[in-house]
Each structure stands twice: as structure tokens, then as C-alpha cells.
Amino acid sequence: MNAIETQNLTKVYKNFTAVNSLNLKIPDKTIFGMLGPNGAGKTTTIKMLTCLIQPTSGGATVGGYDIQKNPNEVRRLLGMVPQQVSLYKDLTVMENSQLCADYYGINPDERDSRIEDLMELVDIKYAKDKLISQLSGGQKQKASLVASLVHRPKILFLDEPTIGLDPTTKRILWDLIRELNDDGHTIILCSHDMHEVDMLCDNVGIINTGNLVAYDTPQGLKDSLLESNKKEISDTLSQISSESDVSKSTKEDVDNLSLRKMSFLLKSNNEDVINSLRLNPHVKSIEIAHNGRINIRIDYFDDDALNSILDTVIKSDGVIKSVSTEEPSLEDVFIKATSEVVEDDRA
């Protein structure tokens, strides 16, 4: 079952198309990352899915309910933690949570105990009698989560939940997001923190100029970009090789273009390992960093290089502490997917 499905979901403001025939499926009980540059259409999409605005055409179902035919049923399924905390500053954490519970018609007999349990879950119970205006940024986000979860929503929207937070508080909220997901909540995460999305999300959708331009798992998106990069490099090499007059500097640039980095840190470097690596035909260059890390350049298209190099290290009695290769990041995917803005699609 999918928690959310859209069918050609479209929103047009006068002559401007904010969301353009969006077709999206978000599986139930997963963490989904919704990415896109500012003005891409993410907020408009969320407003339609949460029944705040009506689509111009197309439609969507949330938790099996149609957003146009059954908006009240949809709203009961949803929780929302906005980027800007929207709690009443002159009320306490407890009072804000009680207000939200009353809005959703939570039985008064279980309201306060449910709130207390949530406060313990997000570690904000110690501040339950503090005014929102007295809280730090991280505490406000935790209080917002309690208010959003009090009616036990199946689907939770998080808009930049960790922006401006220190690394420790970020990690606490990341753990909480995972715990909520483990408890069966579907989570829609909007964030510009690519590391956050890469680490937390099962699937990622990238929206640009109102269109869904990429959708896959984080690793699937990176693997696709790797193959795309290979093709671009191959096309460039073919084009340059066909030219009769190629300068020396251009040839050097081309050679560098077709190489990528591989590095590893050994328990201890020894001459046998270094010499063996220099003799390995897959190694194009090698240098030793000041911290002892061995940095190697290999051919971008050499699929056998990684295994061969690691085999060389092991056979030379090298003990590998860490290894890394130069692969595309989710940020690279984001930049690539959003680099081509077609204004005609939004006119």
C-alpha cells in the first residue's frame, strides 16, 4: 500500500504552473525525502496533499482518501512540523499540546497521559511548564513534534526539522525520526541537508520547476549519476580524440577527466605495500598524504581496478583501516537534476 499517490497533480496560479502533472508514489511506513530548490513547487505540493489548497487538475490520495472528496479524513491522518515553529509563544509546552489535542477531539481522560508519554519520547518533559518563548530552537522543535503527534497521525510532514540546530540536537532528532518510522509512521522529510536525506530516507524525489525530475533510493540516484558521468566523459573523450589538432594541455585535461580517486588508510604503511601498488597496472598515480593515507588515481572506466588494488594491499600484508572512492554524492545528484530549468514548463 502507498501512503500517498498523486495522479497528474497540477496547480496553476494565473499563467504560472507551480506543480506540473506530478505523479508520485510514497510507500506506506517509509521515510521519503522531498527535495528541490527554492520555488520548485515543494510547498505547493505539500499544501495540496494536506488539503490547504485545491489542485487545479489531477488528484491525489493520502492514506487511501481522496484529498478533494475526503479532506477531513485526510487531515485526521496527518501531522505537520513546519520549518517555522507555529506554536503559541505565550502558552507553555503542555498548554500548546493540550490545545492541539482538544482540536482533534482527543478524549480528556487520556489526553494528558498521551502528552506526557510523547514528552518523554522527545525528551522535553523537563520543560513542559515553560513558555514557548523561553525555549531554545531545539526545544521548540521538540515541542512542535509533541503537538503534531498528539493525535497519533499515520503520516508526518517534516519541513526542515533540523535547520539551525547544533550537531548534538540534530542527532537526537534523527534518532527520533527513525524511531517514529519504526513505530509505523510514514514520514515526508523536506530538507536541504543532503547528508540528512541520504542517511534517513528510503526513497527520494527531486522536484524542479514543478516537475518530478528524479525518483529513486538515495543510492540508486547516485549510481545513475555515476553511469551518466561515465557516458559524458566517454563522449568528451571521443569528441576530442576525433579532432586533429589537440594541444598538450588539452590532452592533460582529458587524461585527468578520465581518472578518479581511491584512497585508504592502513594500520601501518610499509614499503612492500607501496612498491606493490606502484607495480599494479590499474594504478595511474599514487601519493602518500601527511597523515599516511594512500591516495591513488584509477581509470574511471576500469571496473576491475578496485578489486585488484585491494587484493594487492592484502597480499602485501597490509591491514586496511578505511577505504573510500570518489563517487557522486546526493548533493551532486541534486545539482545535476536541477541544473536545467525549463521556464516554458511553468508558463
Beta strands 259-266 and 320-325: pairing type? antiparallel
Which residues are registered as beta bridge partners of 259? Answer: 299
Q: Which three cell numbers stand for residue 333?
A: 545528484
The verdict on 232 and 204 lying in the same domain is no
Q: Which three cell numbers stand for residue 213?
A: 525530475
User: What HEC string does 207-229 produce?
Assistant: EECCEEEEEECHHHHHHHHHHHH
CATH number at residue 237: 3.30.70.100
Does residue 121 form part of some domain? yes
Residue 83: predicted pLDDT: 79
The verdict on 298 and 202 lying in the same domain is no
Does residue 343 form part of some domain? no
Residue 312 CB contacts under 8 Å (≥ 6 apart), including other chains = 273, 276, 277, 280
Residue 168 three-state SS: helix
CA pair distance 137, 164, nearest whole angstrom? 8
Q: For residues 57 and 20, is the Cβ–Cβ distance under 8 A?
A: no
For residue 236, the surrounding DSSP H or E stretch is helix 218-241
The verdict on 21 and 160 lying in the same domain is yes
The verdict on 174 and 252 lying in the same domain is no
CA pair distance 325, 59, nearest whole angstrom? 43
User: Strand order of the sheet with strand 16-27?
Assistant: 16-27, 2-13, 57-62, 65-66
CATH number at residue 18: 3.40.50.300
The verdict on 233 and 210 lying in the same domain is no
Does residue 267 form part of some domain? yes
Q: Nearest 10 degrees: CA dihedral of 333, 334, 339, 342?
A: 110
Which residues are registered as beta bridge partners of 322? Answer: 265
Task: Classify 282 in phi/psi space as left (phi over 0), alpha (psi -120 to 50) or beta.
Answer: alpha
280 alpha-carbon distance from chain centroid = 38
Q: Which three cell numbers stand for residue 268?
A: 601501518
Burial of 100 (0-12, 13-18, 19+ CB in 10 A): buried
CA pair distance 186, 1, nearest whole angstrom? 12
Q: For residues 114 and 101, is the Cβ–Cβ distance under 8 A?
A: yes
CA pair distance 116, 94, nearest whole angstrom? 9
Does residue 339 form part of some domain? no
Q: For residues 336 and 228, is the Cβ–Cβ distance under 8 A?
A: yes
Q: For residues 85 and 141, is the Cβ–Cβ distance under 8 A?
A: yes
Q: Which domain holds residue 87?
A: 2-216
Q: Which three cell numbers stand for residue 188?
A: 515526508
Return the closest-CA partner of residue 153 out of 99, 78, 100. Answer: 78
Does residue 346 form part of some domain? no
The verdict on 69 and 140 lying in the same domain is yes
Q: How many domains does the chain have?
A: 2
Beta strands 2-13 and 16-27: pairing type? antiparallel
Q: Which three cell numbers stand for residue 295?
A: 591516495
The verdict on 34 and 150 lying in the same domain is yes
The verdict on 18 and 146 lying in the same domain is yes
Residue 141: predicted pLDDT: 87
Does residue 337 form part of some domain? no
Residue 329 three-state SS: coil
Does residue 201 form part of some domain? yes
Does residue 93 form part of some domain? yes
Letter string b/e over residues 120-130, b meaning 16 or more CB atoms within 10 A of that residue's CB: ebbebbebbee
For every one of its 347 residues, what pLDDT tens digit does the chain have, with 9 covering 90 and above? 899 999 999 999 988 999 999 999 999 999 999 999 988 999 999 999 999 999 999 999 999 999 999 999 999 999 888 877 889 999 999 999 999 999 989 998 899 999 999 999 888 999 999 999 999 888 898 899 899 889 889 999 998 888 877 888 888 889 989 998 999 999 999 999 999 999 999 999 999 999 999 999 999 999 998 888 878 777 776 776 666 555 555 555 555 667 888 998 988 888 889 999 999 999 999 999 988 899 999 987 788 898 999 999 999 988 999 988 888 899 999 999 998 655 555 55
